[in-house]
Structure 1
Amino acid sequence: MLVLSNVHAFYGNIQALKGISLEIKEKEIVTLIGSNGAGKTTTLKTIAGLLRPKTGSIQFNGEEIGNKSAPEIVKLGISLSPEGRQVFPRMTVLENLEMGAFSRKDKAEMNGSFERIYALFPRLYERKHQAAGTLSGGEQQMLAIGRALMSKPKLLMLDEPSLGLAPLLVETIFQLIREINEQGTTILLIEQNARMALMIAHRCYVLETGKIVLADDAKHLLESDAVKKAYLGE
């Protein structure tokens, strides 16, 4: 579904990605783990068209997307729920969700998406006329994921969905991620809680300073002594 081949990306003169190659297959959950500054968020931004790769190839369903704009990439079926939620605080929950559907024209299909979002996140239905800035952190995270789903993505990218949430809410968010995947959406996940990420993912890539240093089934990495020591606090 998604293939990155030898992708290099820069912020000005600073090289953030140093030859990233990875593959995501349809209906998988793939997680990227690594310390702060390893290049995880940069990888998502580069896939989403928010940062152009300097060299290398990014292909989505056989089509090169490394040269496409962010709106074009959304229309092709890739959506990003960014780190820090970044909801529109003065707009209502409903208006935020509508913003996620900017690329869609079919009203009947959109209504179906609203129903799906409200079924996944009943709290958003209860709060749909409330300003997003007045929601709790957990509710804002649900809204950020719901907004990303409104574009009906084939690939949903989640950047730190559990950041700053209470432990009970973290479990809820991960259950919802699994449910979204079981409904047929492929997921690329960045998550500071590496243990939780590895528990729900099918495969994992480990990044260090802009390079992939490990790639394996998530179950194997969960049992790896090196990964336990470096990323699971054991």
Structure 2
Amino acid sequence: MLTVRNLNTHYGNIHALKGVDLEVKQGEIVTLIGSNGAGKSTTLSTVTGLLKPTRGEITFNGVNIAGKPPSEIVRMGISLSPEGREVFPALTVEENLSLGAFTRNDKAAVKRSYDRVYDLFPRLSERKKQTAGTLSGGEQQMLAIGRSLMAEPQLLMLDEPSLGLAPKLVMMIFDLIVSINKQGTTILLVEQNANMALSIAHRGYVLETGRVTLTDDARALATNEAVRRAYLGQVEEF
């Protein structure tokens, strides 16, 4: 579905991505793990067209999308739930969701997307007329994911969905990610909580300073000694 080859991205003079290769197959949950500044969010921003690559290919369903505008990439079937949620605080839940469907004209299909989101997130249905700025952090995260689903994406990209949430809410969000995947949406997940990410993913990539240093089945990564020491909070016993 998504193939990235030799992806290079710069922020001015900073070489943020240095030849990243990755692949996401239809139906998978694939996770990118790594420390802050490794290039995880930059990878998502480049795929979605928010940043333009300086070199490399990004192929989605056989079409090279590198450098295309974000609105066109959304129409092709890629949606991003951004880090920090980025909901519109003065707009209601319903209005925030409607913005996620801005590329769509079929009112009946959009109505089905509302129904799907409210089925996945009943709390949003209860608060549909409430302004997003008055929601809790967990509810805002639900809204951010729900808004990205309103585009009816084939590939949903999630950037740090557990950031700042209490452990109980983290479990809820990850359960919902699995449910969304089982409904047929392919997922590319960026997540600081490597334990949780690898527990639900099929495969994973480790990014370090703009490069992929390791890729494997998620279970294999979760038991890899170097990964455990660096990202899973486990240290050697003496």
TM-score (norm: length of structure 2): 0.98
Equivalent residue for 1:21? 21
For 1:2-151, list aligned pairs within 5 A.
Answer: 2-151=2-151
Instruction: Give the drift of 1:213.
Output: 0.1
Distance 1:162 1:214 in 2: 23
Which sections of structure 2, spanning at least 5 residues, go unmatched?
A: none
Amino acid across the alignment from 1:30? V
Q: Deviations over 1:108-130 (max 9, x none)?
A: 00000000000000000000000
Distance 1:133 1:67 in 2: 33
Instruction: Give the drift of 1:67.
Output: 2.2
Amino acid across the alignment from 2:72? E
Amino acid across the alignment from 2:189? L
Equivalent residue for 2:220? 220
Q: Deviations over 1:92-138 (max 9, x none)?
A: 00000000000000000000000000000000000000000000000
Distance 1:213 1:104 in 2: 39
Length, aligned pairs only: 234
Amino acid across the alignment from 1:166? A
Distance 1:180 1:32 in 2: 18
Equivalent residue for 2:194? 194
Q: SS state of the match for residue 139, structure 1? A: helix
Amino acid across the alignment from 1:19? G
Distance 1:55 1:222 in 2: 31
Distance 1:19 1:67 in 2: 16
Q: Deviations over 1:31-55 (max 9, x none)?
A: 0000000000000000000000001
Instruction: Give the drift of 1:141.
Output: 0.0
Identity fraction in percent = 67
Distance 1:223 1:17 in 2: 27
Distance 1:55 1:171 in 2: 38
